Amino acid sequence: MNMATSNAQVDEVGAEDGPLYEARRKIYPIAVHGRFRKIKWALLAITLGIYYLLPFVRWDRGPNAPSQAVLVDLANGRFYFFFIEIWPQEFYYLTGLLILAALVLFLMNAVAGRIWCGYLCPQTVWTDLFQAIERMVEGDPRERREKLKHASRAQRAFEAASKHTLWLMVAWWTGGAWVLYFADAPTLVMQLLKGEGPAIAYVWIGILTFTTYVLAGHMREQVCTYMCPWPRIQAALTDEYALNVTYRYDRGEPRGSFKKTQALKLQGLPGGDCVDCNQCVAACPTGVDIREGLQLGCIQCGLCIDACDTVMKKINRPTGLIAYDTDMNVQARQQGRPTVTRLLRARTVLYAALIVVVGGIMLTTLATRGYEGLSVIHDRNPLFVQLSDGSIRNAYTLRLVNKELSSRQFQIAVEGVPDATVEVVGGVPDAQGRPVVAVGPDQTYEARVLVSTHARLPENASLGITFHATDIEGGRTASAPDHFKGP
């Protein structure tokens, strides 16, 4: 086969099969009304209300502590969530939260597919808001098509400018709200308005303004279809009992116009309830035709259900032609078998149990955690010193943590070394001569501690030793193990 023939065949195949990549078409979903649309509006209001307003909620923690209810204090290494304060040493709580979030996502997927994507995903929430602004300014897709024919260029330009201005304002406040979680919100707002805010705040506001404007205003369904990995992951986590937005083809097929279907039914011939109005496609934010089956682009938002139910009511047919169901149930109805809905099954019970276990562990550790901490580092060079009086001395660096909002004094003691004496370098003993370390409110303090003993030790001794730091007033004790070395 010569090259010319080969190229001709390639061209012929390309002409028959079409281009490898389909050109992107813009999707402008129509406005629908119904229970799922109401649920989405309610969740949008709740989630965005929390996100935008939470930085301004105050919480009195007493003196020497910030009064913002939710605050990530990077400068001091603290995370505040109402009455909870997390230190850097307690990073495992964040790990636990991420595990809980993953398990909740798995449970949601096992129960009803991608309901996270359809109702709570930030991309979905902000896209819904941007589309609402678009409809408010320019009208529904039908109105926009009419304006293209009749409205003047000046009107269309004004509406487009108004829409993008409102989009940018929402995007700007989205970025602005994010940085308010990292500083005192009222103070930072005033600094930003005066142009006196930290440079990093302006940088992040700019980044988040740009990403929100582009992703929610322009890319929209492209993020769900091409950028998000979850549609591809969730396919491995679902099963045949998971509820999904489903076109009940057992009832809808064969589809046809209302008049044609009515005529078929009068003749005793089969006719489906689907009137092929395409309202389900027009309402879909990702442009999916749910009648073609479950697809990667479907985010399970239920808007096609509302659109279809509206049409069914107008033509006096039962609603639920599109509903949360399973393909297994559709086939069962076709064969005259009873349908099965199993929300409680091994998969969902396991996820729920893991959520309870992980959440219980986190709550238990949070409720029983101490407000003091102690860690010990042994001097490496030298490991020990033999003094002129024959005693053996080891040196340590103790780091004490005081998580309370008032100053505390800790008595230092050791256990495991016979006849040991403890000295805090630079410290001032209390009235009873006990070695004491003072730690300020919500602070850490490093103390140099010398432990000596006159006791006779075995050769190459390495004794287990435990340090105790006891709050003189509260009586609570923090302990940390180490070793005492000898010749």
pTM over 0.85: no
Q: 457: closest CA among 405, 414, 416, 398?
A: 416
**Class for the domain spanning 372-485:** mainly beta
Task: Give the helix/strand (H/E) hosting 86.
Answer: strand 84-86
The two structure tokens encoding residue 457: 């030790």
Q: 239 or 107, which is more confident?
A: 107
Q: For residue 462, what pLDDT is reported? A: 87
**Percentage of the chain surpassing pLDDT 90?**
53
Residue 2 predicted with pLDDT over 50: no
CA within 13 Å, CB half, 389: 6
**Lowest mean per-residue pLDDT among 76-90, 112-126, 175-189, 301-315:** 76-90
**By mean pLDDT, which of 36-40, 91-95, 345-349 is the weakest?**
91-95
The predicted model gives 105-109 an average pLDDT of: 93
- For position 259, what pLDDT does the model report? 83
What is the rounded average pLDDT of the residues 16-30? 64
The single-letter DSSP state of residue 91 is T
Higher pLDDT, 345 or 8: 345
Residue 431 has a pLDDT of: 67
Maximum pairwise Cα distance, the chain: 116
- Write down the pLDDT at residue 302: 93
What digits encode the pLDDT tens for the residues 330-340? 999 988 899 88
pLDDT single digits (tens) 360-403: 999 999 888 888 889 999 998 888 998 888 889 999 999 999 98
Residue 43 has pLDDT above 60, yes or no: yes
- The three-state DSSP-derived secondary structure of the chain is CCHHHHHHHHHHHHHHHCCCCCCCCCCCCCCCCCHHHHHHHHHHHHHHHHHHHHHHCECCCCCCCCCECEEEECCCCEEEECCEEECHHHCHHHHHHHHHHHHHHHHHHHHHCCHHHHHHCHHHHHHHHHHHHHHHHHCCHHHHHHHHHHCCHHHHHHHHHHHHHHHHHHHHHHHHHHHHHHCCHHHHHHHHHHCCCCHHHHHHHHHHHHHHHHHHHHHCHHHHHHHCCHHHHHCCCCCCCCCEEEECHHHHCCCCCHHHHHHHHHCCCCCCCCCCCCHHHHHCCCCCCHHHCCCCCCCCCCHHHHHHHHHHHHCCCCCCCEEEECHHHHHHHHCCCCCCCCCCCHHHHHHHHHHHHHHHHHHHHHHHCCCEEEEEEECCCCCCEECCCCCEEEEEEEEEEECCCCCEEEEEEEECCCCEEEEECCCCCCCCCCCEEEECCCEEEEEEEEEEECCCCCCCCEEEEEEEEEECCCCCEEEEEEEEECC
SS3 246: strand
H-state helical runs in 317-471: 327-334, 346-368
Going by pLDDT thresholds of 50, 70 and 90, the confidence category of residue 14 is: very low
The pLDDT score that the predictor gives to residue 17 is 53
The domain locations on the chain are: 35-90+121-234, 372-485
* 402 vs 89, higher pLDDT: 402
| pLDDT reported for residue 23 | 56
The CA distance from 454 to 477, in Å, is 27
HSE-up of 140 (CA within 13 Å, CB side)? Answer: 7
The contacts of residue 326 (CB under 8 Å, 6+ apart) are 240, 241, 242, 243, 244, 246, 341
CA nearest to 400, candidates 451, 435, 444, 449: 444
- CA–CA dist 172, 193 (Å, integer): 13
What is the structure's pLDDT at 130?
96
The answer to whether 349 and 67 have CB atoms below 8 angstroms apart is no
